[in-house]
Structure 1
Amino acid sequence: MSHSVYFGGRKGGATKTTTSHLVCLGAILHKQPAAYVLTDPDRRLKEEGRPYSVLDGRDPNDLAKILGAIDAHRNGWWIIDGGGNRPAFDAEMARHVDLVILPFRDSEEDLEAVTRDLHAYPNALAWPCAWPTNDKARQVARGLFEALSLAFPRRVVTSPLFFVNSAKELLDASLDNPSTPTRNAARRAFDIVSDTFDAYAQKGDEARGRAIA
């Protein structure tokens, strides 16, 4: 069975790209096949030394072929990086994937942006990413998290992905030997996404069951 996850949202710098790579690396570390799909035309394709597939979806025709392959192969994890400030593209991608995740950081600006996106994409989930590890900063960030969870019940991933400084190596031209902190963060990222995916699928099955009844 394939699992297609789209990381989107209008806010730039919300860690969509880093988080996408983390999830792919985590899948591989869990011995799950994974492919990272780049769609942002302003980014360069970086595939050297990566243990997961890196696919170029920057051209609409190429992206259409990739989406077709997802449906045909029905295997592994397909992680699609949406880039920022492309609401029309986000809306279109939401129609083609199993799960839309909106990463957001601990700032009022991120909170405002992800709030708008949650309204725009009713089935999307928000995920606190690059979350602070300092106790005082985490206490402040918790207020943002709780406010969003209250406004959008069951649509905020409850396990944050904490900031790891070394994770920036995922965006280097080559990824040959990720550091231990990055590997640990990748495993955690994949675990969270996998659990979220399963819970989301179960909720969808329950909704379909109620509709049939």
Structure 2
Amino acid sequence: MAILIAIIGNKGGTGKTTLSHLLCHGLGLLGYKSACILTDTAREPLSPEGRRYVIADARSAATLERIVTKLRTLDDWVGVLDGGGNRPEIDKRLYGIADLALLPFRESAEDIRTVIRDLEQYPRAYAVPSQWPVSNRWQRQAADKLVAQMMGPYRHRILRPVPALSATKLLLLKQIPAHLPTPLNNAARQFARQMVELLALTEETPETVESDTHEYRIPEEEMPLRYRR
């Protein structure tokens, strides 16, 4: 039976669609079969050609039900439900059918206040620092301190930050390039491996692209929680 991951949240502009494609790309790099399932009616489906995952258009309620029903009959598949911002009723539905829910947020107090409310509403969900600063040391420290100050009680439900990479926009092109940058592939693997660990999936199959040497388990002292008070 397939596993379903919903990427939802009331705040718009947090990168839900980007993370959906990044996660599916990373799962593909690790050898998993995955489907990126579009539910946001404000977006158009992308071409599946050249991707390591399939694209499913589930912008209507009836189509979503058919796709989910079909996926549930398949073994060793992961379906990633791409939600949209400010759609609380849709979020509730996607959360109800998913095995795991992710709530992305960016480095602002408004985003953090919204994700806290969502964490309280969705007890099985995890918060994902999205498009997190990596190149500017001071910006990164400020972002991490803000998380530590505002989200201390939720520390065990915050995943490793997904870095801000300009290359992620390549995954949102109608037709993706034949070759994607190594930093993008590495970020996709790291993100996917967190999901593999959370869901206790079996070990990934041998990879066929550049090896990722980064450790994906989160040391206790690692940002953004190293500044917690």
TM-score, normalisation: structure 1: 0.87
Partner of 2:29: 29
Whole-angstrom distance in 2 between the partners of 1:114 and 1:59: 26
Instruction: Say if 2:2 and 2:73, in contact at 8 Å, map to a contact too.
Output: no
Instruction: Say if 1:5 and 1:101, in contact at 8 Å, map to a contact too.
Output: yes
Q: Structure 1: which 5+ residue stretches go unaligned?
A: 200-213
Partner of 1:198: 200
Partner of 1:112: 113
Whole-angstrom distance in 1 between the partners of 2:194 and 2:150: 19
Q: CA deviation at 1:148?
A: 4.5
Partner of 2:39: 39
Of 117-126 and 21-30, deviating more is 117-126
Give, as a single letter, the amino acid of the residue that structure 2 aligns with 1:17.
T
Q: CA deviation at 1:124?
A: 1.1
Q: CA deviation at 1:90?
A: 0.6
1:17 matched to 2:51? The reply is no
Partner of 2:68: 67
Give, as a single letter, the amino acid of the residue that structure 2 aligns with 1:38.
L
Give, as a single letter, the amino acid of the residue that structure 2 aligns with 1:188.
Q
Whole-angstrom distance in 1 between the partners of 2:43 and 2:150: 30
Partner of 2:215: none
Partner of 1:202: none
State percent identity of aligned pairs.
36
Give runs of aligned pairs for residues 121-160 of structure 1, distance below 5 A: 121-133=122-134, 134-157=136-159, 159-160=160-161
Give, as a single letter, the amino acid of the residue that structure 1 aligns with 2:59.
R
Partner of 1:92: 93
Q: CA deviation at 1:198?
A: 2.8
The alignment covers a number of residue pairs equal to 198
Q: CA deviation at 1:153?
A: 4.2
Give, as a single letter, the amino acid of the residue that structure 1 aligns with 2:145.
G
Whole-angstrom distance in 2 between the partners of 1:117 and 1:74: 30
Give, as a single letter, the amino acid of the residue that structure 1 aligns with 2:17.
T
Between Structure 1 and Structure 2, the one with more helix by share is 1
| RMSD of aligned residue pairs (Cα, Å) | 1.6
Q: CA deviation at 1:150?
A: 1.4
1:176 matched to 2:177? The reply is yes
Q: Structure 2: which 5+ residue stretches go unaligned?
A: 202-229
Q: Secondary structure at the match of 1:163?
A: coil
Whole-angstrom distance in 1 between the partners of 2:110 and 2:151: 16
Q: CA deviation at 1:59?
A: 1.0
Instruction: Say if 1:50 and 1:176, in contact at 8 Å, map to a contact too.
Output: no
Q: Secondary structure at the match of 1:160?
A: coil
Give, as a single letter, the amino acid of the residue that structure 1 aligns with 2:200.
D
Instruction: Say if 2:26 and 2:191, in contact at 8 Å, map to a contact too.
Output: yes
